[in-house]
Structure 1
Amino acid sequence: MSPPRPHFLVLTFPLQGHIAPALRLARRLLAVAPDVLVTFSTTKAAHSRMFPSNGEQGGDHRAEEEDDGRLELLPFSDGTDSWEGTKDGYAGGGGDDVEAFNAYVASFHAVGPRSVGELVDALAARGRPVTRVVYTLMLPWAADVARRRGVPSALYWIQPVVVFAIYHHYFHGYADVIAEHHRRGDPSLLVELPGMAPLAVRDLPTFLTESTDPANYFHTVFLTFRDLFDTLDKETNSKATILVNSCKELEVSAVTTVGKKHDVLPVGPVLPTGDETSIFKQDADAKYMEWLDTKPENSVVYVSFGSLATMGKEQLHELLLGLEEIRRPYLLVVRKDNKAMLAEAEAEMGPKNGILVEWCDQVRVLSHAAVGCFVTHCGWNSVAESMASGVPMVGVPKVSEQGTNARLVEREWRTGVGAGVDNGGVLHAGELRRCVEEVMGDGTSAAEVRRMAEVWKRVVAEAMGNGGSSYCNLVAFVDGARSTA
């Protein structure tokens, strides 16, 4: 009997920022190895939003297939399986209700392992056994599900290697050091971690500073990261395998540092190869693309703070004021949650020089020749997409690892600048104008930012191309899985 074909089960948390890189990786696996099979799985709620033909809210979640059946899209249960009352892409995840969020995460961790285990068993029963489980950040239990069935697993780290290194040091002896620096209340204080350049407290992931407090909204996320690193430490027979959505060239020293403990394989930045499936409403007409076609090269300011960002009235007012004063064309993404404020702002002040949309295909926008600057929250997907497109950035980080990413953009890669905000986290019009001028203006510093953006664009393209570092790492990972299938 011939051995089973390599079959990767790719599992992810039901947030768009997790789904996108995980589904991109699934399709990338198919692209580099024509003999492999892949099953992509997120929760039933997210699955039904992505593939509404399967029925809404608890309907028939039958398999979707792509690439002649080599890629299957099958959901697992998180114990809720409904989009009722959701806002941000997961059941129970809307608003500021800490108890509701905690209840959802508890359900996800309790029901998810059972459901994924049943999925693995069902695939084996119909002759499609899983030979390697790949899971993203919020699923530490996925490794245990795989281990109990004798299946190897790998973590897909969807943030930079530098961020992984920070978390690793925190959970291996540096928690008190970071806590003490944060307690002193000065965000500019420098923290020194082994093998890394000093980092200011403001540059550290907020889950390791603010979210360690049990009263914090994201405390359960902090606990999940703690469990994740405990899970990696259980790999006692060999180094844990960590796939990273970055490339070696972007993070040479961090890869070396983390590689002493784990088998680190940078395989990115993994970008979509065509139209991308999203849990958010998509505009098939894409009139914003037609609008971009009418604008000169490198003239448009693109502004988006990510799929989770909500915007207060003051912030929206300051953004529109600053964008109009810049007197450059702009494309501003404002989630539909802000419709009432948006209508009020539009009635008061325009817009005159730009357009506002609820959603856009970000990769297509960043790839358009008219776009000259990206004002971003610095989520890693957005940073990676901007780097791959050679678009300079203005960083306005808010939560999670976004501050770390913004520091990398400004200090390490020199492809953008960081924007200052007030004590309430609001980016004011004058600061927005200053930062946009720093990357789009006629000065030498702006020219250097644009030059470095082009340099890193070529580096990322080479890493992802045939024979590049990320391509070879992914091929090596598949070959390793093939040998153990």
Structure 2
Amino acid sequence: MPFLQSYLPKPVSFFLSLRIRLPIPAPPKMLKTPHVAVFAFPFGSHAAPLLSLVRKLAGSAPGIHFSFFSTAESNASLAPIVAADKTTLENVRLYDISDGVPEGYVFQGRPQEAIEVFLNATPGNFREGLERVAKEKEITCILSDSFLWFAGFMAEEKGVPWVSLWTAGACSLSPHFYTEHIRRTIGTAPDLIPAKQDEPLDFIPGLSQLRVRDLPEGIVFGKLDSPFSLLLHRMGEQAPRATAVAFNTVDGLERNVLDDLNTKFHKCLPVGPLALAAPLPSEPDPHGCIAWLDRQNTASTAYISFGSIMSPPPAELAALAEGLEASGAPFILSMRERMLTHLPIGFVERTKERGLVVTWAPQTRVLGHVAVGAFITHCGWNSVIESIMCGVPMISRPILGDQRLNARMISHVWEIGVGVEGGVLTKEGVVGVLDLVLSKEEGRKMREKFGGIKEVVISAFSKEGTSTKNIATLVEIISGNEKM
């Protein structure tokens, strides 16, 4: 595939065995007006955090111009944010690139199909966009989503710095860097994995409380040779090339992992949570969720959302509804319209006195309401951070990717939530975890844990906080003022 054939691979074991840093590209001779090309991964919740970082950098350094490249569909969802932000309107421009979908193409409904079609067009679509804007103003830095590892080679060709943004937690990037080491230690034969799935990852610095079963697909189980798995493997190999790797996390949340990666990368810069760095405009509330919550008791209500990409299987959604009905707890259930058909017949009508079922909810506002005492979540990183900021205990039902790692961090590292029994939603299991988390005693204990964690997060954006300092360092890098 084009995105794999563009450059010859270098095994990650090379980086692990040498334990040295790769040479940093020489800083360019900067122009009077720095111009940063920004490459977004246009799926899931990737483009929005990258735009948040750009908005923060653009506001901190209004003399720097940013050209933001993503697909038309992705940019259309981001354009209102740029338009509403008067501080970045002048020096941030969105540019559309090809999504790779041929004319007349009919999607077959395969998982990750849209991503695979997009990857077929990379890196050519980004290169075309880069050359287009470079004709008007020379590129002086490339800032990309970490998934788009080829940005490092483009930056090297132009002799400019490459800054990579990992939009999630450090604990989920580390396994991709250590993929070859993990495979040598555990093996990848399908018959080996079940016996080893509960073994700790204590041979990876900072991950001793996580297990083999918590790893993302594509490392030792799942389709190791799928286009997306190959993309993530290549990403882990190329991360050390970056002038700096920024993380949408806080140093104090994942210090051990960051300390280790800082010995492997040129610079590790936790700059998150980006939702605090560059807050989004207030979310609308078309279904009246906040007014409904105003009528509920403090910490009495469960909020349920599994994000916008995937959700548990239909049978589990039905079991979830049965559990919500049997629990007697007030709830807001946010679910895409096509998934509502999997709810039991009559469920919405039978629970309308204490339940609200919507197709979209203003999540940060819902989690920030005093009535919400539990969050049943897929454990996407953005949802985890929002829950931490609002102090709401989580009930984890991870689905894919980094979500299992995040869920384990929630339950066994930070101790601010629990998982569903057996990792599957059942009627009895839902009743049990809601009783546990919404109970006065257990709920109080979990909420007390949030105190120190929230302090760590908030202090990161104090005048001398780590995220504040790291954002300042990023400004120096992209403006060409940092001494290498």
Name the CA shift for 1:461/1:404 in 2 (closer, same or farther; >3 Å): same
Matched, 1:177 2:185: yes
**Contact 1:336–1:358 at 8 Å: present in 2 too?**
yes
Query: How many angstroms apart in 2 are the aligned matches of 1:70 and 1:81?
Result: 33
Name the CA shift for 1:210/1:194 in 2 (closer, same or farther; >3 Å): closer
**Contact 1:397–1:406 at 8 Å: present in 2 too?**
yes
Name the CA shift for 1:247/1:19 in 2 (closer, same or farther; >3 Å): same
| Percent of aligned pairs with the same amino acid | 27
**Contact 2:311–2:399 at 8 Å: present in 1 too?**
no
Matched, 1:23 2:20: no
Residues 378-387 or 428-437, more deviating: 428-437
CA displacement at 1:408 relative to structure 2: 0.8
Residues 338-347 or 287-296, more deviating: 338-347
CA displacement at 1:385 relative to structure 2: 1.2
Flag the structure with more relative contact order, 1 or 2, with Cα contacts below 8 A and sequence separation at least 6.
2
Matched, 1:260 2:272: no
* Alignment equivalent of 1:69, drawn from 76, 81, 90: 90
* Alignment equivalent of 1:483, drawn from 459, 480, 483: 480
Q: Write the letter of the residue equivalent to 1:267.
A: V
**Contact 1:181–1:189 at 8 Å: present in 2 too?**
no
Matched, 1:7 2:35: yes
Name the CA shift for 1:350/1:68 in 2 (closer, same or farther; >3 Å): closer
Query: How many angstroms apart in 2 are the aligned matches of 1:48 and 1:84?
Result: 21
Q: Which runs of 5+ in 1 are unaligned?
A: 53-63, 86-91
Please name the residue that 1:130 is paired with.
139
CA displacement at 1:302 relative to structure 2: 0.7
**Contact 1:378–1:403 at 8 Å: present in 2 too?**
yes
Q: Which runs of 5+ in 2 are unaligned?
A: 1-28
Matched, 1:210 2:228: no
Name the CA shift for 1:357/1:106 in 2 (closer, same or farther; >3 Å): closer
Matched, 1:116 2:126: yes
**Contact 1:45–1:81 at 8 Å: present in 2 too?**
no
Name the CA shift for 1:84/1:431 in 2 (closer, same or farther; >3 Å): farther
Name the CA shift for 1:431/1:2 in 2 (closer, same or farther; >3 Å): closer
CA displacement at 1:395 relative to structure 2: 1.1
| TM-score, normalised relative to structure 1 | 0.83
Secondary structure of residue in 2 paired with 1:210: coil
Superposed counterparts of 1:282-431, under 5 Å: 285-342=286-343, 344-346=345-347, 349-421=350-422, 426-431=424-429
Residues 320-329 or 268-277, more deviating: 268-277
Secondary structure of residue in 2 paired with 1:74: strand
Name the CA shift for 1:482/1:47 in 2 (closer, same or farther; >3 Å): closer
| Cα deviations by residue, 1:336-370 (Å, 9 ceiling, x for unpaired) | 12133348353674344211111122222222222
CA displacement at 1:2 relative to structure 2: 8.7
Q: Aligned residues, how many?
A: 447
| TM-score, normalised relative to structure 2 | 0.83
Q: Write the letter of the residue equivalent to 1:232.
A: A
Query: How many angstroms apart in 2 are the aligned matches of 1:165 and 1:413?
Result: 18
Matched, 1:150 2:156: no
Q: Write the letter of the residue equivalent to 1:250.
A: L
Query: How many angstroms apart in 2 are the aligned matches of 1:382 and 1:67?
Result: 25
**Contact 2:30–2:140 at 8 Å: present in 1 too?**
no
**Contact 1:155–1:243 at 8 Å: present in 2 too?**
yes
| Cα deviations by residue, 1:84-113 (Å, 9 ceiling, x for unpaired) | 86xxxxxx4x73x26xx45x5454234232
- Considering only aligned residues, what root-mean-square deviation do their CA atoms show, in Å? 3.1
Matched, 1:168 2:177: yes
Matched, 1:79 2:79: no
Please name the residue that 1:61 is paired with.
none
Name the CA shift for 1:353/1:275 in 2 (closer, same or farther; >3 Å): same
Query: How many angstroms apart in 2 are the aligned matches of 1:302 and 1:82?
Result: 41
**Contact 1:324–1:351 at 8 Å: present in 2 too?**
no
Residues 133-142 or 247-256, more deviating: 133-142
Matched, 1:33 2:61: yes
